[in-house]
Amino acid sequence: MRQKKVENRASNFFIKIIIIMARCYFCGKTTQFGHNVSHAGNRTPRKFKANIKRVRAIIQVNGTKIKKRLNVCTTCIKMGKHLGM
């Protein structure tokens, strides 16, 4: 009997998540790295993650406004950059 090749859908889903990274479309804010410092001065690595939200934004391309879903940080949302201002 011939065996059919079975795709591993979980790995495809994992790859798609990696491609869409947590980076603001407008300012480029992303994850930063640093240290937790205890009272004794011990340093352990940690991540400072940007507060990224997926919103519907209005982008101007060749003079026309287009609605698109983008990853935008909350600072840019407060400034109204996602509204095409």
Q: Write out the chain in H/E/C secondary structure.
A: CCCCCCCCHHHHHHHHHHHCCCCCCCCCCCCEEEEEECCCCCEEEEEECCCEEEEEEEEEECCEEEEEEEEEEHHHHHHCHHHCC
pLDDT tens readout for residues 26-74: 899 999 999 999 999 999 999 999 999 999 988 888 888 888 899 999 9
At 71, list the tokens: 């990853």
Q: For residue 15, name the pLDDT band (cuts at 50, 70, 90).
A: very low
CB 54 within 8 A of CB 74: no
